[in-house]
């Protein structure tokens, strides 16, 4: 079995201050025995405006945020998922919200660009989000073979699209990592039920770090970073304070459950239902 940790923090507009806080929590996770640590979405910057994120965007493979992630992974001998950080795209006005995975040697082993972008208006308080104004969507699902199991990567708003997670599980995923920054409104309504649903539907562990608390830009994020097992049981959760949650991954138990409760093999694609194909 292997301990995986998820970090919860409340990022602001100062990159260096955010990296210091992330480093403190990575150390805490490593000291407590974590072999993989997952940071939340926008861990390195949550500016007053989204344009600030574009200004600090890095070229893939080079930049202070990426250097920090590599150094932290190597320093503590952990696999590290860098929540999301802004990486330059073909469009100067937009960046990729990229989630990078580093191995314990500090090497990048995977990159996932957030696919689903948060363009919504929350009618309860007229909050408006147009992530696509400054973010380029990705188009490639990613599953990574790690020493701790096969990890499917997703980010925040992706959580609302079960077809993505079904694809990841069909590609062998046993663990989903979902760095997030859910709003307080949507978090209260849907965060836990969506995480548990994705775990239950796919018989996968869910590692879900979140931003939590009040931010300089006036936004309040829900927090409640959560660890859910393959049976949909919440194993660890925070409120809104900075800290970490942890889960012990037991792949033997997961695979045994998949054998005795073979829901994944019972899936009948809609085209087969329509045609009557068994």
Q: What is the pLDDT along the chain (278 residues), one digit of tens a residue?
A: 799 999 999 999 999 999 999 999 999 999 999 999 999 999 999 988 888 999 999 999 999 999 999 999 999 999 999 999 999 999 999 999 999 999 999 999 999 999 999 988 876 666 788 899 999 999 999 999 999 999 999 999 999 999 999 999 999 999 999 999 999 999 999 999 999 999 999 999 999 999 999 998 888 999 999 999 999 999 999 999 999 999 999 999 999 999 999 999 998 877 765 655 55
CATH of the domain at 42: 3.60.110.10
270 SS3 class = helix
Pairwise CA distance, residues 39 & 17, whole Å: 15
Q: Could you tell me the CA-to-CA distances from 207 to 64, 97, 154, 190, 225 in Å, in that order?
A: 26, 18, 10, 16, 8
Please identify which of the residues 50, 114, 204, 240 carries the catalytic annotation.
Answer: 114
CA proximity to 176, closest of 185, 166, 184: 166
Please identify which of the residues 41, 50, 58, 131 carries the catalytic annotation.
Answer: 41
Please identify which of the residues 35, 50, 131, 156 carries the catalytic annotation.
Answer: 156
Pairwise CA distance, residues 141 & 169, whole Å: 11
150 carries an active-site annotation: no
CB 160 within 8 A of CB 193: no
The 8-class DSSP code of residue 155 comes to: -
Pairwise CA distance, residues 222 & 210, whole Å: 8
Pairwise CA distance, residues 2 & 249, whole Å: 5
Domain count for the chain: 1
192 carries an active-site annotation: no
Range of the domain at 36: 2-275
74 carries an active-site annotation: no
* Global pTM value: 0.95
Question: DSSP of 60-126, one letter per residue?
Answer: TTBSHHHHHHHHHHHHHT-EEE---EEEE-SSTT-EEEEEEEE-TTS-EEEEEE--S--EEEETTTT
């Amino acid at each position: 079995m292997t301990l995986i940790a998820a970090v919860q923090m409340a990022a602001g507009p100062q990159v260096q201050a955010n990296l210091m806080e992330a480093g403190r929590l990575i150390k805490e996770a490593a000291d407590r025995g974590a072999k993989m640590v997952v940071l939340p979405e926008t861990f390195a910057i949550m500016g007053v405006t989204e344009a600030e994120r574009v200004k600090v965007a890095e070229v893939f493979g080079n930049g202070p945020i990426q250097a920090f992630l590599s150094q932290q992974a190597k320093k503590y001998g952990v696999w590290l998922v860098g929540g999301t950080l802004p990486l330059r795209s073909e469009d100067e006005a937009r960046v990729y919200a990229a989630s990078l995975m580093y191995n314990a040697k500090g090497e990048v082993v995977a990159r996932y660009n957030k696919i689903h972008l948060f363009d919504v208006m929350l009618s309860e308080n007229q909050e408006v989000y147009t992530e696509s104004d400054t973010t380029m969507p990705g188009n490639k699902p990613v599953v990574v073979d790690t020493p701790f199991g096969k990890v499917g990567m997703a980010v925040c708003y992706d959580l609302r699209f079960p077809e993505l997670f079904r694809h990841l599980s069909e590609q062998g995923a046993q663990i989903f990592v979902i760095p997030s920054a859910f709003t307080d409104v949507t978090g209260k309504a849907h965060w836990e039920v969506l995480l548990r649903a994705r775990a239950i539907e796919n018989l996968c562990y869910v590692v879900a770090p979140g931003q939590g608390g009040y931010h300089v830009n006036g936004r309040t994020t829900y927090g409640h970073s959560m660890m859910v097992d393959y049976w949909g049981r919440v194993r660890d959760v925070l409120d809104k304070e900075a800290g970490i949650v942890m889960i012990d991954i037991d792949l033997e138990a997961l695979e045994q459950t998949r054998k005795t409760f073979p829901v994944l093999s019972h899936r009948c694609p809609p085209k087969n239902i329509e045609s009557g194909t068994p």
